[in-house]
Structure 1
Amino acid sequence: MAHLAKTILIVNDEWGTAKGGISTVHRYISSLAADAGHNVYVTALQADEKDRKDAEEKRIKKIFTPEVSPYYPDKTPHRTWLIHHQSFFPHLKTEISKVDIIIGHAPDSHIAALLMKKDIFKQAQSFLFNHVIPEDTEVYSDDATPDKVQEMETQLFEMGEKFDVICSVGPRTKGHFSNKYRALVRQDTQHMEFIPRPDQKFFDIKMKEAPKDFKGCVFRVITVGRVKGVEKLKGYDLVAQAMSKVAESFHGMFQRPPKLVIRGVPRDESEETKQFFARHNKSPYLEVVPYPYGTQDEIRIDFQQSHLCIMASRSEPFGMIGLEAMATGIPTLVTTNSGLAEFINTDSSLSIYADSVVVDVGCNPSANKRDIHQWEEAIRKVLCNYSVAFKRAQAIKKILNESEAINTSTAIFQSLLS
C-alpha cells in the first residue's frame, strides 16, 4: 500500500556542496526524501540559479533563502539568520501550512530546526543528523579548552532528549553517541547509523590510468579541505612532511617528484596556507599547489586528473570526501582514526582491501615521527606500484556502487520518513 506523501523541511545553510561533508549529506538526504514521494523543502543562506535548477531536477519543491530588510546593516549571510528565522525566513510560516518532519544537522542547523519546530511547526516530528564528535576533533583546535569540549558534547547529548529520530553519520559517530545516550532520560528516541552514498556522478566517471610510456607524467596527490585553523586536525603537517620524503626519494631515483594538490583554500587564507606548507615542506623538490573551494563537478575533475587522494585527519567522524574519491575509482588512503575506516574494516566486501586503503596512524601529535613514516610508506607503495593500486581502486569502486550497507541505510531512513 502506498504511503501518504509528507511535507518535510530540511534546514541547512547551503544547497551546494562546496563546504564539504555536511552539505553533501544534506543534499543527498533531501533527494532521498523526494525520491520516496514526499514534498521536500530546504533552506539555504543563498542560492543561485544553478542551485535552484539542480534542486528542481531532484524534485525539491523550493529552496527558501533569507528575506533581508534593506535597512539591515550587514547583508553578509550568516548561520544565525537560520536561528532568527522569524526575521529572516518569515515566508516559511506563510508558504508552508504544515510540516510533518523537520530535519536539522549538528553542528550547523540543529538549533535552528528546533526553534522552527517550537515557533511554527509544533506538530512536526524532528530528525537530527549527527556529523561531529567534539571529544575527538576539538582537542586539536588552538583555542580548545576542557570547558569548551564539555559544553559541545553536553549540547549534542541533550539533543537526544529533544529530537525524535537521530541519524549518526557513519559507525564511529553512531558508536560515540550510542554510548552517550545511555544516560538519556527519554527512552523513545530512535538512533540509527546512516551511511551516505556518493552522488552517482562520481560512480559514472570512467577513470583512465596514465599510460606507462607517458613521458613527463607527474603524479598528482590530492587532499581536499581547508587548511587554516584545522592544520593539526586534518593532519596537513603529516602530509607535507611525508610527501617531502616521497619527493626526495623520487628525485634520488631520477624521476620527477609528485605534486601535492590542496583543494579548499579560500583566497583570503591563501598566504597563510602557503606559509604553513613552507614550514612543513622539507624538500626543495616538492611542489604544493593550492586551489580554492570546489564544486562537486570541479572535485570530480580533480580526481580524474590526479593519481592518489589522501584523507590524513588525526580524527574524522566519517570522511565523505574519501568515500567520494573511492566511488570515483582513484586510489585512496584514509586515516585509521575515521568513521570511513571503520566502515571499510567492518564491511564484509570492503574489508579485504582495508590494509591497502587504511593507514595505521595514531591520534596523538607526539607520535608525529612514526605517523609521517606510515604515510610516507603508504604513499610510496601506491605510486611505485600504480598499476596494481589503480586496478584495486576499480574493484573498490564496483563494491561501493553495489554496497548492501549503503542500500540498507537508505531503506531504513526512507522507512522512518513514512
Structure 2
Amino acid sequence: MCRTQLQQHLYWLLPFLDTKTIIERDGRLQFEVYRKPTHTDQYLAFDSHHPLEHKLAVIKTLFHRADNIITSDTAKTDEHRHLRGALGKCGYQRWTFNKAFKPSDQSKKTPKCTPLTNRNKANITIPYVQEVSEKLRRIFQNFNIATNFKPQSTLRQRLVHPKDRPRKGSKADVIYRLKCEEPNCNNTYIGETSRSLNERYKEHCANRYSSAIFHHLKHNQGHSFNLESTDILDREPRWFERITKEEAKVVHVRGKKEELLPAVVTPTHFIFRHRKGSWVWSVIVKLFGRTFPRKGLFAMFRSPWTSYGVNLKIFIVSNTKGIIKTLQDAVKDLCGEQTFSLLDSRACVLMSDQTYCLHAAVENGTLRIYNPKPPKGIPYEDTLDEMSYPHTFELTIQRSSDGSDVILDLHLRGKGSDDDVCQMTKFIGHYKRDNTTEESVSTQSMPTELVESVRQNLAVTGITGNSERMDVLPANTYQLQAGSIAGGSGRKPVVLLINDGYGNSHGRVFTIHRQMASFLVSKGAVVHSIVLGATQGDQDTAAADGVQLIPPKTFDGDKRKPSLDWMTWDHLIRYPNLPSDVRFIVGHVNITSRAAREIKEQRLPNAKLVQITHEIPELTSHYQGDEKVKRIGEESDSILDDLQHADVIFSVGPLAYDYYQTKQLKCQHYEFLPKPSDMFSEMQVKYVHTKTKTVLSMGTIIGAESLRGYDIAAKAMHIVIDHLPNTKWRACGVSAEDFPESKKIIQANIHFTPLKYDTQEELSREIQQAHVVLMPSRAEPFGLVGLEVIAAGVPVLVSHKSGLAWFLNKNSDLDRPIVEIKDNDDEAAQTLAKRIIKILENGSKEFEAAQRLKHQLLALKPWEASHKKFLETFGL
C-alpha cells in the first residue's frame, strides 16, 4: 500500500479510547473495539492468586464491551474468537466461559425489587487468601453481611513509598534469624526482641554464659555473625503473640533438662536456645485451634532378603540436612545385627502433632494386590528428642514361592482423610536364594499369596527400650481395583505432557499427543504441554483444546535451534517455571521419554511417569540403512531403560503392545488404540467417475524409502500406468526440495507429483481427491494414517506387516484393505498392482465397500476400551 493510500485509509478510521469508529463510503458509521498496536493481550492470569469472581469478571467485561460496542455481526464474531484465544493463553479454560455467561443462582433467586428488610445489613472487604477467605464469606453470610475480596498486593503497594525504609538495625518488636557466616557451618539462631536489633546483637556478643551465639563463637574459631545479613521473619509488638510466632519458626529440642542445649543444628535439630516452647505449642492449639504446616520427610529403609522375606522401616520426620544419617544411626541401634539401607525418601508437608496413617499396597508375581487397613497411625513431631527414638511404621513382606519382584505402593494420609500427603511406588528387586540356608517346613510350604503385615512402633524410647506394636493381619485386607495408579484424592489431576510440538501438524506422534491432551481436558484434567516451539496457529489450537503450552525460555544472542536436548538436559534453564502440583508426566518413546524421566527424577519426584511407546527399533531399523541396524541394540536398551523407570506404559496398537509384553516390564502395561480424527470420520466422500485416476502414497521418502515400501509402490505403479495410462501417482509428504533426491532413491522412471503437507486439513484434502491410498510398508508399528483413511471412507491398501493390519485382522469385517507384501519385491509389486487396478476399474463398487467399512469401524468403536483404561490411569 502506497503512502497516499495509507493516509486515505487511516482518514476513515477514528480511534477513541477503546472504540474504533469506521466511516463507510456511504457515510454510515461502524464501531469496533480498538487496541493499540503495542497491546499484548495480557490479562489477569488464571493461575494468579485472585478470587474466581475477579477472573470471571475479566471474561464478562471483555465480552460485554464487544457486545455493546461492535455493530457488525462479523466483527463481533471475530472479536469473540480473538478473546477466547487470548484468554486461553492466559490459562482460562472452557468451563470458565460457561460459568461467566451463566446467571448465578443468587441472581435467579433475588427479585429486581428487593425489600429493604432482606438486603444485607453491612458490607465488608477483606484481603483474599485462597480457601480461607471463602470460609469467612460463608460465616459472614450467616449474619447477612456481604463480603468482598481485594488482592493482597497492588501496584500502589509496590511502587509508592513516601518514606525511606528504616535501617535493619533500628527495627524493634521483631522475630529474627542469624546465620553463621562460615560457609561450611549451617548453624542458625532464631529469636525475638522488643528492643532494636542493634541492642539485641550487642547482648548476643557479650561475654556471658547465657549467650548461645557467644558460646558458639567461643568453641568454633574463625566463625562469625553479621548483623546486616540478619533475616527479619516477622514483626509483632505484643509479647505473647511475638513469642508464639517465634516458636512457629523454630524446630526446637524438647529435652528433659533446662540447661543450654548444644550448639548443633542440622543432624538432630538442636537449636541455639534454652528449652522453651513445649508449653507454647499447647497454648497455640488450645487458643487458636490450629497447627502449622512443616517441611517433612517420608523416608523408607529396607533390610536384605531373608528366608522369610524383607523388612521395611518407615519414618515421618522433619526435613533437615543430615536427618538421613541420624535415622540410619537410629535404625542401627534398634535393629542390632540386621542391616538396613535407605530405599527412598520424599519431601512432603506435614502438620505438627497430627496423626498420619500408612496405606500399603503390595503386588508380587501372583499379580494379586492387597491393601491392609491402616493401623491407628502415629503422630508427626517435627522435633527429635535426644532421649528417645522417633516413631516408625514397620512393614514385613513375605517372599513368594517363585521369587518374583515386589511392587510396593505406599500412601501417607492424615487420619480420616483420603488425600495423599505423600505417595511412593518402589520395586524391591529379586532376592538371591542362599543354597546353604536350610528352610523350615513351614517356609517351604508357604502359599504363593503375598502376606503383608503393617506394624506401628509407638513411643519407642532409648531409656526403657519398650515398644508397642500393632499387627494388621491378612484377614483385614481388601482387594483394590487393579490398574489404577491415581491417588485417592478427589481433586482433578494435573498432567504434564512432553512433546516437541503441539497442533495440527499431521504426524503419528503429534496426532496422538493432541488426542490424549484433548481427551484428558474433556474429562476435567488440567493439562500442560511442554513444547520446543509453537506457531500462532498452534497456540490457538492449544487454547481451543484447553491445553496450556509451556514454550522454552530463549536468550538474546543464542542462535542455536531448539532441540530435544533442551527438554532432556537443559530443562532447568529452558523451562524454569513448571507447575509444582503435577501428578502425572507423559513422555513419548523414544522422542521425549528420557526428558520425561529426567524431569520427574530431578523436579517432580512425586508425579507418576507414563510412557507412550510408538517405535520398535528391532522391527523398523533393518529397513533404514546399516548405521541404524548397528544401533538397534543401543537404541532398544535406551528405550527399555526409560520404560523400567515408568509407572505405567501405553503401547500404541496391538503390535507394539505384543512386542513390549515380551520385555518382562515390571510396571502396568496397556494397549492404546487411537481414534480417527473427527475431520476424517465426518468427511463425506462422493465417487466421481473419471478416466483420470489418482493414486496417493503417504510419508517421506528420504531415509525411509525401503521402510515405507516406496520402491515396491514404484514398481507396482509401472504396471498400473501401463494398464491405465491416465493414472496419476501423487506422493504426499515429499517437498519440492526433496523431489530430485527422492526420485533418484526409488529409481522411479515414471512421473509422480510431490506434495508437501503440514496440517491435517491439507492431508484430508488430498485424501478426498484420491481413488486409492497406498500404505505398503515393510514394517510399521501401527499406521494411524491408514486408520484415518478408512474412517474417511476412501479405499486404502495396507501392508499385512503393519500394526494396523494386526488390528484389522481381529475383526473379519475389517480386513478388506489388507494386502500381502511378500519378501520378494517383484512378487510384492505384482500383488500390489493387481489390487490397485481392481480398485481403479471398479471405482463405484470399491467406494461403496469403503463406505460400508467406514460405518462398521465407527459403529464398533474398538478404541473405547483402551480409552477407558487410559482415563482410569489418571483417576478420571
TM-score, normalised by the number of residues in structure 1: 0.89
Task: For residue 3 of structure 1, report the CA deviation from its aligned partner.
Answer: 4.8
Structure-2 change in CA distance of 1:33 and 1:177 (3 Å): same
2:669 pairs with 1:200:
no
Query: Pairwise mapping of residues 7-22 of structure 1 onto structure 2 (< 5 A)?
Result: 7-18=494-505, 20-22=507-509
Map of 2:597 onto structure 1? 114
Which one of 785, 794, 798 corresponds to residue 334 of structure 1? Answer: 798
**Aligned residue among 372, 381, 404 for 2:861:** 404
Q: 2:654 is aligned with what amino acid?
A: P
Gaps of 5+ in 1: none
- Tell me how far apart the structure 1 counterparts of residues 542 and 644 of structure 2 sit (CA, whole Å): 32
Deviation >4 Å, runs of 4+: none
Report the AA paired with residue 564 of structure 2.
R
The answer to whether residue 851 in structure 2 is matched with residue 394 in structure 1 is yes
How big is the shift at 1:376? Answer: 0.8
CA root-mean-square deviation? 1.7
User: Cα deviation per residue 1:170-197 (whole Å; 9 max; x = unaligned)?
Assistant: 00000000012x2x4xx3x110011000
Query: Between Structure 1 and Structure 2, which shows a larger proportion of helix residues?
Result: 1
Could you give the per-residue CA deviations for residues 328-380 of structure 1, whole angstroms, max 9, x where no partner exists? 1110111001110000001x3xx2241x3101113x4xx11111111111111
Does residue 85 (structure 1) correspond to residue 571 (structure 2)? The answer is yes
Tell me what 1:373 maps to. 830
Alignment of 1:195-344 (within 5 A): 195-210=673-688, 212=689, 214=690, 217-251=691-725, 256=726, 258-277=727-746, 279-281=747-749, 286-344=750-808
Separation of aligned partners in 1, 2:631 and 2:745: 26
Deviation at 1:398, TM superposition (A): 1.4
Equivalent residue, structure 1, for 2:537? 50
Matches of 1:198 and 1:146, distance apart in 2: 32
CA distance in 2, matches of 1:331, 1:2: 48
- Matched to 1:316, the amino acid is E
> Does residue 820 of structure 2 align to residue 360 of structure 1?
yes
Distance 2:728 2:758 in 1: 19
Contact 1:64 1:89 in 2 (8 A): yes
Counterpart residue type for residue 813 of structure 2: I
User: 1:150-180 deviations in whole A, cap 9, x for unaligned?
Assistant: 1111222223310011000000000000012
Contact 1:263/1:294, CA 8 A, preserved across alignment: no
CA contact (8 A) 2:653 2:671 kept: yes
Tell me if 1:104 matches 2:587: yes
Say which structure is richer in strand: 2
Question: When the two structures are superposed, what TM-score results if normalisation uses the length of structure 2?
Answer: 0.43
**Helix, strand or coil for the counterpart of 2:588?**
strand
> What is the CA-CA distance between 1:16 and the residue it aligns to?
2.4
Q: Partners of 1:43 and 1:125 in 2: how far apart? A: 16
TM-superposed CA distance for 1:19, in Å, is: 5.3
Alpha-carbon distance between aligned partners in 1 of 2:627 and 2:490, rounded to the nearest angstrom: 47
Q: 1:157 touches 1:177 (CA, 8 Å); kept in 2?
A: no
Q: After superposition, what is the alpha-carbon deviation per residue over 1:233-252, rounded to whole angstroms, capped at 9, x for unaligned? A: 0110000110110000113x
- Aligned position for 1:173: 656
SS of the residue corresponding to residue 862 of structure 2 reads helix
Contact 1:8/1:99, CA 8 A, preserved across alignment: yes
Deviation at 1:147, TM superposition (A): 4.1
> Conserved in 2, the CA contact under 8 Å of 1:326 and 1:397?
yes
2:874 — aligned with what?
417
CA distance in 2, matches of 1:2, 1:126: 18
8 Å contact from structure 1 (residues 45, 65) kept in 2: yes
CA-CA distance at 1:297 after TM superposition: 0.6
Superposed, 1:60-79 pairs within 5 Å as 60=547, 62-74=548-560, 76-79=561-564
- CA–CA separation in structure 2 for the residues paired with 1:202 and 1:103: 26
SS of 1:9 mapped into structure 2: strand
The superposition leaves residues 56-101 of structure 1 with CA deviations (integer Å, 9 ceiling, x where unpaired) of 22121x1111111113232x22222221212222232xxx122100
Larger RCO: 1 or 2 (CA < 8 Å, sep 6+): 1
Greater C-alpha Rg: 2
Question: Per-residue displacement from partner, 1:230-282 (whole Å, max 9, x unpaired)?
Answer: 1110110000110110000113xxxx2x11111112344232113234x233x
CA distance in 1, matches of 2:757, 2:696: 13
For 2:742 and 2:668, the matched residues in 1 are separated by 42
Amino acid at match of 1:89: Y
Alignment partners' CA distance in 1, 2:532 and 2:506: 13
**Which residue of 1 is the match for residue 623 of structure 2?**
140
Q: Deviations over 1:123-168 (max 9, x none)?
A: 1001000001100100111233654111111222223310011000
The answer to whether the aligner puts 1:149 opposite 2:632 as a matched pair is yes
CA distance in 1, matches of 2:861, 2:681: 16
Aligned to 1:191: 669
How far apart are the structure 2 equivalents of 1:39 and 1:157?
29
After superposition, residues 125-136 of structure 1 pair within 5 angstroms as 125-136=608-619
Q: Is the 8 A contact 1:234 1:314 kept in 2?
A: yes
| 1:280 partner amino acid | A
Find the aligned partners of 1:59 and 1:98 in 2 and give their Cα distance: 18
Q: Judging changes above 3 Å, is the alpha-carbon distance between structure 1 residues 307 and 126 closer, same or farther for their aligned structure 2 residues?
A: same
Q: How many pairs were matched up?
A: 387
Structure 2 unmatched ranges of 5 or more: 1-487
